[in-house]
Structure 1
Amino acid sequence: MIDISIIIPTFNRAQFLGAAIDSALAQGDGIEVIVVDDGSTDDTPALLASYGDRIRVVRQSNAGPSAARNRGAEQARGDYLFFLDSDDLIEPGAVHRLLAAAQAMESGQAPIGRASIMDEAGMSSTGVAYGYPHLQPGHQLSLADLLTGVMPLCLPLLQREQFLAAGGLDPELRLGEDHELAIRLHHAGLRFVATDVPVIRVRVHGEPRLSGEGDHAFARQLLQVWRRIAGLVRDFPDFDRRAREALARVIWVAGRDAARAKDREAADAMFDIAREFDPGVERISPWPLRLASRMLGPFRAERCVDAVKRLRLV
């Protein structure tokens, strides 16, 4: 009997994929491991073949991680889905602990675990916090809670029927697609509940990332996802003042990211959206930046701050 389908989308990550698969297989009985090879051109096919029938392999032409995850969910035989990126690791026993938590919860609730960071070699590291580590176990996330951070798809255990009923991930989104799905699931009535279960170790490595100096594609992807989420939540019954302020803050920070990527159009658009939801959102910035923003506008202020930082490093 299969309780949980662990779905691993992958594209040219042969150097990390084996460790990810091994961590999934080590979860024990009642699981299946589905690897969706999204058109890899490296040694991935040979690596996958070495596992024989211990895993299920689905191959497709490159269509992006959302399409790969959706394909895996469609092929899954488990009642629950757990999504693992091909460069990360599942903590020992994590999925069964999440399953026990899910079975103890009310209908319409889904448990989310906690993540830690590791470096390229797999050693514990520090870095950007994933998910909602500040929430106490048993806390049911409100819309405002959900909007204060980003819900990575590697944290919750989702019922397959819920995932498919929501339409899965949107393949058009290449950034923030997991958070956009979490917002849709919340609107459909699903409530995420925090647990103290450590579920995932996220690998931070030297492979190219989406963000970067002068990366306009990154800025446009930020704008696309936050426009989408802003459009979704406007009419939600629980889009109250706290939720509006939370959304304004994260979009304002995204605008700053776009400014650092030197994309004025995307940055200004996100600054405008943030001010629409909370006219006083600039208060979250340090006072020198707030002052510069009033004098120069937020985009030029961010560019000036960046230039000053660079001069200090020279």
Structure 2
Amino acid sequence: MRFSVVIPVYNVASYLTGCVSSVLNSTETDYEIILVDDGSTDGRSGPLCDTLAARCPNRIRVIHQKNLGLGGARNTGLEAAQGEYLFFLDGDDTISPEALSILSQAVEKFHHPDVIAFFLELWPEGGSVPTGLQRHRLPPDQVCTLAQCPAMLLDTPSACARLWRRELFLKSGIRYPERLWYEDLYTTENLLLEANSIVGLHVPLYRYLLRTGSIMRGNDPSRNREILLALDQVFAWYRSRQCFTRFQEELCGMTLQHISYACYRVLLQDPHHPLIPQFLEYLTSHFPTYRTSKYYHALTRSQRVILFFLRHRQYRLPALLLEWKEKKNSK
């Protein structure tokens, strides 16, 4: 079997049918769908998984488990998968009808690479057209390694932005952490280091749903501390492979991006949170000369503004500016 499409399910009953239908409508036929009901509590998502599987028993398998978080659900799907490749699809997102066919052709063309990256379309909830495109930095239609294109460390770490050869997980022993935020950051950067062949397709295959207000919904700002744990794990992995110095510039750029994003989340919720100054302390302790990095100058204006105010320990003003920006963008 070519593909195992792993769909973690947690309280996404309103979106799940559309998600699964987007795979079933694929022009590719050599695939299975694994629905991992991760202890859903809405009383709807778990039964809906069973209903969908009953309609296509030769195509869909369901696994019900206690809640292990997104990472734990992906691990469960990974272990149960029969396909050569893993396609991780979140239960509220969809794929284009030709996505799996294009990926299958790429698998053959590039002799079964370890990783295939692609673009993601950003779809607003209720919208009829995408409003953005998330790109990667890989050259088009070429086989490379992380050493040949280290800037890919600054691409989104989302597991959903790449097709993964299952053997890469099995040989490396890398798995997703359970019940932790930023689970993709724990794994993607390490998998890219272990991969012998990586291909970038310059075509959007994944449709990411921008759920209204999701950045603010029910989040405990203290949990953003987990990004520091994820970064620690990545740095430890690269040091264990004697590769930290080799990729230090890109690891610095990656840290700048994720620290500014985590700070963005916390500032929107609580500009007086004690975690905010810890972000800058972490950044300067690992990369004391970060302001000379070429990736610092490549940050967005908002990211540089956040870091500027962090250095000057002024948190209320950027919080107000970010809140205004969020409200403006939501109109």
* TM-score normalised by length of structure 1: 0.82
Asked if structure 1 preserves the Cα contact closer than 8 Å seen for 2:264 and 2:306, the reply is: no
Within 5 Å, give how 1:225-264 maps onto structure 2: 225-234=230-239, 235-236=242-243, 239-240=246-247, 242-254=249-261, 256-257=263-264, 260=267, 261=270, 262=273, 263-264=275-276
CA deviation map 1:9-54 (0-9, x unaligned)? 0101000001001111122411111100001122113322322014
Deviation at residue 267 of structure 1 after TM alignment: 1.8
- Residue 190, structure 1, aligned to residue 191, structure 2: no
Unaligned runs of 5+ in 1: none
- RMSD over aligned CA atoms reads 3.3
Residues 208-287 of structure 1 correspond to what in structure 2 (within 5 A)?
A: 208-209=214-215, 215-234=220-239, 235-236=242-243, 239-240=246-247, 242-254=249-261, 256-257=263-264, 260=267, 261=270, 262=273, 263-273=275-285, 275-276=287-288, 278=290, 280=292
**Structure 2 CA distance for partners of 1:311 and 1:206, relative to 1, 3 Å:** closer
Which residue of the partner structure matches residue 138 of structure 1?
A: 141
Deviation at residue 116 of structure 1 after TM alignment: 0.2
- Maintained 8 Å contact 1:31/1:78: yes
Q: What does the per-residue CA deviation read over 1:233-286, in whole Å, with 9 as the maximum and x for residues that have no partner?
A: 343177245424423532552464366253235323333245336353565586
Aligned equivalent of 2:31? 31
Could you say if the C-alpha distance between residues 17 and 255 of structure 1 is closer, same or farther in structure 2, counting changes exceeding 3 Å?
A: closer
> How many Å separate the matches in 2 of 1:103 and 1:56?
26
- Could you give the per-residue CA deviations for residues 41-88 of structure 1, whole angstroms, max 9, x where no partner exists? 221133223220141100001111111111111111111111100000
On the 8 A contact 1:99/1:157 being kept in 2, the answer is: no
Q: Percent identity?
A: 24
Does residue 17 (structure 1) correspond to residue 16 (structure 2)? The answer is yes
In the TM superposition, residue 214 of structure 1 has moved relative to its aligned partner by 8.6
Greater CA drift, 186-195 or 164-173: 164-173
Aligned length: 306
Q: Which residue of 2 aligns with 1:72?
A: 77
SS in 1 for 2:246: coil
Distance 2:307 2:78 in 1: 48
Q: Provide structure 2 residue ranges, at least 5 long, that are not aligned to the other structure.
A: none
Residue equivalent to 2:66: 61
Q: 2:109 aligned to 97, 104, 108, which one?
A: 104
Question: What is the DSSP-based 3-state SS (H/G/I as helix, E as strand, rest coil) of the residue aligned with 2:49?
Answer: helix
Q: TM-score, normalised by structure 2?
A: 0.78
Mapped pair 1:48 → 2:49? yes
Query: 2:252–2:287: 8 Å Cα contact kept in structure 1?
Result: no
2:121 counterpart (116, 123, 128) = 116
| Cα separation, 2, equivalents of 1:186 and 1:266 | 28
- Paired AA for residue 23 in structure 2: A
